[in-house]
């Protein structure tokens, strides 16, 4: 399968714990995006990378959230001290930046904070 | 089973009918628009896109119309099939920004 993959697919954690999600983009794609989606809503942008550089972060991304893409390939999204309001689907997408680029989405990681 | 102009959160159509899903976008500077289909438990899947220098683009069974004057986008699905049942989102981009801004979704249900 050469699509975008995300792990884990589901994560249940207790409030206050830290969690980390991984995204593996399509191999030749230089852009990688993180979105958050709550039930019944469209995805909301969190952050994106071009190669290893993080180019934009949403104001939605509090200090408890950090994302990395150390070698310009896979990316991790970490949430520290999780809160119940963090419960959502976390989606990763990648694209080949050529001005306009279709974003290919992974299946998402569903986070439940108890 | 059609709606024109107005965004509806849900749309129910009979199999074989044509469907029209509407979307209003917010940024007049947006120059690239995409329609995505999202099935339960999956990430959004690209359907069709259109650039702002066009007002219509056709794919296989799908057509996207863009009206920049009123900042309106629509997706037409011909001969709707049960496999088309999903949530449909429009998204807007502008060429200097990396992110997509998604609109409100429309849940399409196709009745056999």
Cβ contacts of B108 within 8 Å, gap of 6 or more: B10, B11, B12, B13, B19, B21, B77, B80, B84, B85, B86, B87, B88
Cβ contacts of B73 within 8 Å, gap of 6 or more: B22, B23, B24, B25, B33, B35, B50, B64, B65, B66, B67, B90
Please state whether the peptide bond connecting residue A8 to the residue before it is cis, i.e. omega within 30 degrees of 0: yes
pLDDT at A99: 60
pLDDT at B6: 67
pLDDT at B28: 87
Q: Which of A31, A48, A99 sits opposite B95 (nearest CB)?
A: A99
Average pLDDT, chain B: 90
Q: What is the pLDDT of residues A46-80, one digit of tens each?
A: 999 999 999 989 987 889 999 999 988 999 999 99
Nearest-CA distance A91 → chain B (Å): 7
Question: Residues of A with CB below 8 A from B97's CB?
Answer: 56
A98 pLDDT exceeds 70?
Answer: no
B26 pLDDT exceeds 80?
Answer: yes
Contact B43, A105 (CB under 8 A): yes
pLDDT at A82: 98
Cβ contacts of B77 within 8 Å, gap of 6 or more: B18, B19, B20, B21, B61, B62, B84, B108
Q: What is the pLDDT of residues A34-50, one digit of tens each?
A: 999 998 899 999 999 99
> What span, in angstroms and rounded, lies between the C-alpha atoms of B89 and B111?
20
Q: Do A100 and B102 touch (CB under 8 A)?
A: no
Average pLDDT, chain A: 93
pLDDT at A60: 79
pLDDT at A59: 87
Q: What is the pLDDT of residues B41-79, one digit of tens each?
A: 899 999 999 999 999 999 999 999 999 999 999 999 999
Q: Which of B49, B51, B102 sits opposite A42 (nearest CB)?
A: B102
A8 pLDDT exceeds 70?
Answer: yes
Query: What's the mean pLDDT in B95-103?
Result: 79
pLDDT at B63: 98
φ/ψ of residue A68, rounded to 5: -135, 155
pLDDT at B3: 38
Question: Could you tell me which residue, B14 or A60, shows the higher pLDDT?
Answer: B14
CA A69 vs CA A11, A34, A72, B33: distances in Å: 21, 11, 5, 27
CA atoms within 13 A on the CB side of B72: 11
Residues of chain A with a CB closer than 8 angstroms to some CB in chain B: 4, 31, 33, 40-45, 48, 50, 55-56, 58, 91, 93, 97, 99-100, 102-108
> What span, in angstroms and rounded, lies between the C-alpha atoms of A76 and B33?
28
Per residue in A95-104, is it b (16+ CB within 10 Å) or e — as a string? beeeeebebb
Cβ within 8 Å of A, B 29-88: 32, 34, 36, 41-46, 49, 51
Residue B96 — very low, low, confident or very high, per pLDDT cuts 50/70/90?
low
Q: Which of A56, A107, A108 sits opposite B99 (nearest CB)?
A: A56
Q: What pairs with residue A44 in β-bridges?
A: A36
Nearest-CA distance A66 → chain B (Å): 17
Cβ contacts of B43 within 8 Å, gap of 6 or more: A4, A91, A93, A105, A106, A107, A108
Nearest residue in chain B measured CA to CA from A91: B43
Q: Do A42 and B89 touch (CB under 8 A)?
A: yes
């Amino acid at each position: 399968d050469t699509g975008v993959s995300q792990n884990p697919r589901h994560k249940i954690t207790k409030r206050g714990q830290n969690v980390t999600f991984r995204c593996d983009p399509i191999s030749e794609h230089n852009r990688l995006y993180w979105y958050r989606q709550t039930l019944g809503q469209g995805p909301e942008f969190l952050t994106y990378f071009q190669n290893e550089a993080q180019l934009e972060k949403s104001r939605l991304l509090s200090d408890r959230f950090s994302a990395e893409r150390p070698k310009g390939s896979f990316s991790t999204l970490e949430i520290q001290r999780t809160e119940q309001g963090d419960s959502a689907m976390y989606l990763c997408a990648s694209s080949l930046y050529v001005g306009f680029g279709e974003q290919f989405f992974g299946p998402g990681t569903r986070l439940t904070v108890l | 089973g059609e709606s024109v102009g107005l965004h509806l959160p849900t749309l129910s159509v009979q199999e074989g009918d044509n469907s029209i899903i509407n979307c209003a976008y917010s940024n007049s500077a947006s120059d690239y628009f995409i329609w995505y289909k999202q099935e339960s438990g999956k990430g959004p899947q690209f359907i069709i896109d259109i650039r702002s220098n066009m007002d219509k683009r056709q794919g296989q069974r799908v057509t996207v119309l863009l009206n920049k004057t009123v900042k309106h986008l629509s997706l037409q699905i011909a001969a709707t099939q049960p496999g088309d049942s999903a949530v449909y989102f429009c998204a807007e981009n502008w060429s200097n920004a990396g992110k997509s801004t998604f609109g409100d979704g429309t849940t399409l249900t196709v009745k056999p």
